[in-house]
Amino acid sequence: TQLLEQSPQFLSIQEGENLTVYCNSSSVFSSLQWYRQEPGEGPVLLVTVVTGGEVKKLKRLTFQFGDARKDSSLHITAAQPGDTGLYLCPASNDYKLSFGAGTTVTVRA
């Protein structure tokens, strides 16, 4: 079973600041997905990265997949209160997604 660690677990920043969230594993992934979940709602798929070294941008969010496909990062530029949520990067283990604790991001206005 592939395991994936996220860091930091909690992050609280002021509106306008930048932040980076990391996913790390000792295993190689064929692909990796990032989700954001708001309280009381289901996770929303943000992006899927597939190719080692791949960089994808979604407005102010930049996702990078490590060259060796063992890690990934999410960078948010000029964070806004609407970016607040739980960020998840589950590991794909054959038939299921295995979730870690995720990173809880709070952006203060």
Binding residues for other proteins (CB under 8 A): 30-31, 33, 35, 40-45, 48, 88, 90, 92-102
Least distance to other proteins from the beta carbon of 109, Å? 25
Please provide the DSSP assignment of 75-100 as one string.
EESS--GGG-EEEE--EEETTEEE--
CB of 77 to other proteins, least distance (A): 25
* CA pair distance 32, 92, nearest whole angstrom: 7
Nearer to other proteins (CB atom), residue 14 or residue 30: 30
By C-beta, is 41 or 67 nearer to other proteins?
41
Minimal CA–CA distance to 35: which of 96, 93, 87, 91?
87
- Least spacing, CB of residue 95 vs other proteins, in Å: 4
